Amino acid sequence: MPVQSRRRTPTQAQVGPAARAAAAVPATPVPPAPPAPAGRSAAGKPRRRRDPLWARLALVVGATLMVTSGVAIVGSEALISQATGSIEQTDLLGIAGKSDAEGGKDLTGPIDMLLLGVDARARWDVNDTRADTIIILHVPATHDQAYLVSIPRDTEVQVPAFAKNGYPGGTAKATEAFFHGAQNGGGWAGGAQLMAQTIKNLTGISFDGAAIIDFNGFKGVIDELGSIPMCVKQEVESHHMSRVNGKVMWNADAKKTGQPRQPVVHKKGCRDMKGWEALDYSRQRYGLKNGDYDRQQNQQQLIKAMAKKAMADGAMTNPLKLKGLMEAAGKAFVLDTGKTPLADFIFTMRGVAANDLVLLRTNGGTFSGNESGREVLNPLSQSMFAAVKSDRMAEFILENPSVIAASK
C-alpha cells in the first residue's frame, strides 16, 4: 500500500447530515469503580511529554475527541497543568507510529489514533488483560470531522513476534494481541505496542498516537459529568453485576455475601445513566442479537455521549469542572501522542466537535467467519480501512452509506 502523505490536498467531498448524525448508543460501562490495578504502569519509567494539554483534552472527550474546542481551554493552561500529574504518558506505539515520511512530526494532514479499551479490575493480574475494545479514530486532513471505526475483538490476526518479551508470534484473536504483549514484564505499554503492530499489519494504517482506556476508570469521569444520556435498544441482563439488598455489586463479590442476588437488567429506552450503569451496559455482549457488534456500537456511543455532555455542560470553559474531569480522567487513561507536541493537537483539532463524530461499523454489524469459525474482515471493511489510510473516508461513506452505524 502506498505511503500515507500528511500533506495531501484536503478531501473535497463532505459527508452529509445523515453521516454526521452518527449513532447514539451506549458504550463500555463499569460499576462502582474499583481502584486502578496495581502495576498498571509499563515496565520502566514512563516518558513524560512536555505539555499535557492534549492529554487532558483527549480525556474529557473520552480519549478520542482531542477534537473539541482547543481555544476554550487555553486560558486554563495553568489549572490543566496542575491536574495533569495523574495522567500517565508512555510509548504505546513502538514501531507502529507514523514515520517522518508519513508525517509523524506534524499535524498538517490526516491524524490516526489507536484507542484500546481494557477491563482491568483491581483483583486481576495486570498481565492477564485483553483489549476488548479496539477503535481507530481517524481525523481527515480537513480537520473538520472525526470517524470511529471498531475492529471486532475476535478478528483473526497474525500477531508478529515481539522481541521485548520473547513472544514468538502466531495466529490469534485481535483481543489476544494485547495479552501476548503484556506478558513477561511487557505490561500495558507492551500490550499496546504489540496490538498497534498487529493492527498496522492488518489494516496498513500507521498511528500518530494511542490511548489505553480503563473502562472501570470511566465511571469516575461519568460521575464528574453527573450522568450521560444513553439509549438501550435491546433489553439485556448483565453478565457482570447483581444487586444484593438493593446494592449493585460485581457478581463475584455478590456471591461472597451469601445473600440472595437479583440480576441487573438493562431495560429498553433512553435515559440518563450514572457511571456504573452506563459502563455495565456498554460492557454487555452476551444476550445481544449481534453480540460484539452491538457492544461496539454501544461503546462508540458512550464515547460520543461523554464528549457531548462535556461540551453541553460547559466543562471545557469552567476551570473547576475541567479540573475535576481531568483528575478523574487521569485514573482512566494512558496516553501516547507520538512525535508531536501535545499543545499542537488542541489547535489542530479545534474545528471538530462532538457532533462531528461519525460512528462506523465493520462487516455490516454482523459476524463474518472463516472456515475455522473465527471473525474475518469482509472486502467492504478492508476497503474502509484502505480509505482511512488514503484519507478518502468522505468519498467512501458517500459510496457505501451502509457502514454508518445506525443512530438511536
Of 64-68, 73-77, 153-157, 383-387, the range with the lowest mean pLDDT is 64-68
CA separation for the pair 341, 52 (Å, rounded)? 9
Question: Tell me, what's the pLDDT at 56?
Answer: 34
Cα 114 to its chain centre, rounded Å, is 7
Which pLDDT tens digit goes with each residue over 27-44? Answer: 333 334 333 333 344 443
Angle at 147 between CA 198 and CA 93, to 5 degrees: 30
Average pLDDT, the chain: 74
Question: Tell me, what's the pLDDT at 345?
Answer: 55
User: Could you tell me the CA-to-CA distances from 140 to 49, 120, 148, 204, 341 in Å, in that order?
Assistant: 25, 32, 12, 16, 19
Mean predicted confidence (pLDDT) in 48-74: 35
Question: Tell me, what's the pLDDT at 85?
Answer: 52
Question: Tell me, what's the pLDDT at 354?
Answer: 55
Most confident of 1-10, 68-77, 363-372, 374-383: 374-383
Considering only residues 76 and 397, tell me which one the structure prediction assigns the higher pLDDT.
397
Of 7-21, 219-233, 274-288, the range with the lowest mean pLDDT is 7-21
Considering only residues 300 and 142, tell me which one the structure prediction assigns the higher pLDDT.
142
pLDDT at 72 over 50: no
Considering only residues 262 and 50, tell me which one the structure prediction assigns the higher pLDDT.
262
**Type of residue numbered 384:** M
CA separation for the pair 312, 67 (Å, rounded)? 15
CA separation for the pair 382, 363 (Å, rounded)? 9
pLDDT at 275 over 80: yes
Question: Tell me, what's the pLDDT at 336?
Answer: 78
Task: Give the percent of the chain with pLDDT over 70.
Answer: 67
User: Is the CA virtual torsion 123, 125, 131, 132 positive or negative?
Assistant: negative
Beta strands per DSSP E along 120-278: 131-139, 146-150, 156-159, 170-173, 209-214, 228-232, 236-244, 247-250, 262-266, 269-273
Domains of the chain (ranges; CATH) run 17-233+269-403 (3.40.630.190), 240-267 (no CATH)
CA separation for the pair 209, 50 (Å, rounded)? 15
Question: Tell me, what's the pLDDT at 39?
Answer: 38
Q: How confident is the model at residue 121 (pLDDT cuts 50, 70, 90)?
A: low
Mean predicted confidence (pLDDT) in 283-306: 82
Considering only residues 239 and 104, tell me which one the structure prediction assigns the higher pLDDT.
239
pLDDT at 382 over 60: yes
Most confident of 15-29, 141-155, 359-373: 141-155
User: Is the CA virtual torsion 40, 45, 47, 48 positive or negative?
Assistant: positive
Most confident of 77-86, 144-153, 203-212: 203-212
Cross-strand bridge partners of residue 375? 155, 369
Question: Tell me, what's the pLDDT at 42?
Answer: 41
Q: List CB contacts of 215: < 8 A, sequence separation 6 or more.
A: 28, 29, 30, 117, 118, 119, 133, 279, 282, 283, 332
Question: Tell me, what's the pLDDT at 94?
Answer: 93
Cross-strand bridge partners of residue 242? 249, 263
Secondary-structure breakdown of the chain: helix, strand, coil percentages, each rounded to the nearest 5: 35, 20, 45
Nearest CA to 188 among 332, 285, 329, 345? 332
Of 122-131, 297-306, 324-333, 390-399, the range with the lowest mean pLDDT is 122-131
Nearest CA to 338 among 131, 137, 175, 96? 96
Which pLDDT tens digit goes with each residue over 319-334? Answer: 677 667 767 776 777 7
**Type of residue numbered 104:** G
Question: Tell me, what's the pLDDT at 325?
Answer: 74
Of 45-49, 93-97, 115-119, the range with the lowest mean pLDDT is 45-49
Q: How confident is the model at residue 4 (pLDDT cuts 50, 70, 90)?
A: very low
Element (H, E) at 175: helix 174-182
CA separation for the pair 261, 189 (Å, rounded)? 38
Considering only residues 268 and 133, tell me which one the structure prediction assigns the higher pLDDT.
268
Q: How confident is the model at residue 62 (pLDDT cuts 50, 70, 90)?
A: very low
pLDDT at 366 over 60: yes
CA separation for the pair 38, 376 (Å, rounded)? 35
Considering only residues 328 and 94, tell me which one the structure prediction assigns the higher pLDDT.
94
Mean predicted confidence (pLDDT) in 82-105: 76
Question: Tell me, what's the pLDDT at 84?
Answer: 47
Mean predicted confidence (pLDDT) in 279-296: 84
Considering only residues 293 and 163, tell me which one the structure prediction assigns the higher pLDDT.
163
Q: How confident is the model at residue 71 (pLDDT cuts 50, 70, 90)?
A: very low
Mean predicted confidence (pLDDT) in 304-331: 72
